[in-house]
Structures are given as C-alpha cells and as structure tokens.
Amino acid sequence: MSTATRPMNDEEVFSEMNKMVAFIRQEALEKAREIKVKADEEFNIEKAKLVRQESINVEEQFQRKVKQAEVKQRILTSTLINKSRLQVLQARQEMLDSVFSEAQEAMKSVPQDEAKYLELLVDLCLQAFVQLNDETVNVRGRKADTELIKSAVEKAVVVYKEKTGKTVRATVVETSPLHDSVLGGVRVSALNDRISVDNTLQARLDLSSDRMLPQLRNILFGQSPSRKFFN
C-alpha cells in the first residue's frame, strides 16, 4: 500500500474511494438491518396485540349472537307449545259441545214414553218436596204435561207422607205454565214463589253436564297422563 511519501495517481485515488464507499455502504446496510429487525419485532408485538384484541371482540359478539338465538329459540318453542295446547283444548271443547247437543236432542224424546215419564215426574216432585220442606207448594210444568203432572203430584204427595210423615199441599198452577224449551219436568216453588226448586229436564241436563265433567273427561279423553293420586 502506498504510504504518504508520494501523492496517489488517479487509479489509486479511485480505488481508495471505491473502498471507502463500499465500507460506508456496508456499515449503513448493517445499521439498516438492525433497524429493520427492531421494526419487525415491534410489528409482531403490535400485530399479536391487535389480533388478540379483535379475536376477543369476535368471541364476545359470537357469544352474544348465540345467546340471542337461544332466547329466540326458547320463545318460539313456548309459543308453539301454547298454541298446540290451545288447539287441543279447543278440540276437546268442541267434542264436549257436540256431546251436550246430542244429549239435548235425546232429552226431547224422554216425555214420549208416558209410563216412564210419569214415574220420572213423581220422583222429581218428591225430590222437590223434600228439598223445600214446606207445607204449601206450587207446582208448575209445561202446558202439554198438565194432566200428567196432576196425577204425578197426587202420587208424590202420598209417597211423601209415607216417607217423611209430613203433609204437603201441592197445587198445580196452570195459569203460568213453563215454556216448552224446558223439555219437561216440574218447577216447584214455596213461600209465595219466593223459593223454587227447578227440576225441569233442561235444568237437570245443565246440572249434570256441569257436575259430570270429570267423568266425561275420563270417558272421552282418558285420565290425564300426569295424574298421580286416584283416591
């Protein structure tokens, strides 16, 4: 290498310069590489942080949506269950109604069998007398049944006397007969018509319809599946 004893010629100057340039370039690249490494690390850290943050967010949103869907599902199920219950009830009610209307129809034929109808009237009057427990009673019935009622009443009074020992004076009131829609039977009243026992067929039909609902249910639809006590 030439020392400082003589000045360098052009070639040497050039080569020295190139060497220096190369050296500086190398140093610069090394520093640039260090900076790049640090930048990459910061990038990685930042990216990881962001990814973690966002994935937490996404997770939360997802959970929320799942919960909403569940709630919606539950609401839907319960609505449908309710609806189906109502439908079942409606169908049952229709069945009952049809049973009652058939019974009503059948009832109309009761007064046609005169012998049996008379027996029935006697029993009805008797029951009414017993219930009223009064000495004077008025008996009313349909216009068509007047004769039958009169004979029934007579018999009933006798039986009443036998059974209870009490006398009852029963008057058949013809002036205000019952409407035909009662289908038969008697209405017995006492105390100036202030208390009455309605033993008309319609009334008894209504009563039994109401009272016998449990048995009707059992016959029509079977026992309830969740019933536990049968005594």
* Interface contacts to other proteins, rule CB under 8 A: 26-27, 29-34, 36-37, 40-41, 44
Give the residue with the Cβ less far from other proteins, 44 or 77: 44
As measured in angstroms, the least distance from the Cβ of 40 to other proteins is 8
Q: How many residues does the chain have?
A: 231
Two tokens, residue 218: 């059992």
CB of 56 to other proteins, least distance (A): 22
SS3 state at 33: helix
CB of 85 to other proteins, least distance (A): 57
Residue 124: burial class (beta carbons within 10 Å; 0-12, 13-18, 19+): buried
Long-range contacts of 219-223 (CB under 8 A, 24+ apart): 220/92, 220/95, 220/96, 220/99, 221/92
CB-nearer residue toward other proteins: 29 or 66:
29
From CA 83, how far away is CA 180, in angstroms rounded? 41
One-letter amino acid at 155 equals K
Choice between 38 and 92, CB closer to other proteins: 38
- The span from the CA of 176 to the CA of 145, in Å, is 13
C-alpha to C-alpha distance for 162 and 122, rounded to whole angstroms:
14
At closest approach, how far in Å is the CB of 22 from other proteins? 9
Judged by beta carbon, residue 48 or residue 69, the one nearer other proteins is 48
Closest among 171, 173, 178 to 142, alpha carbons compared: 178
In degrees rounded to 5, what are phi and psi of residue 224? -70, 135
Comparison of 34 and 60: residue with beta carbon closer to other proteins: 34
Taking alpha carbons only, the member of 149, 134, 139 closest to residue 170 is 139
What residue has token string 């016959």? 219
Q: Which is nearer to other proteins, 40 or 97 (CB)?
A: 40
CB of 72 to other proteins, least distance (A): 40
The nearest distance, CB 74 to other proteins, in angstroms, is 43
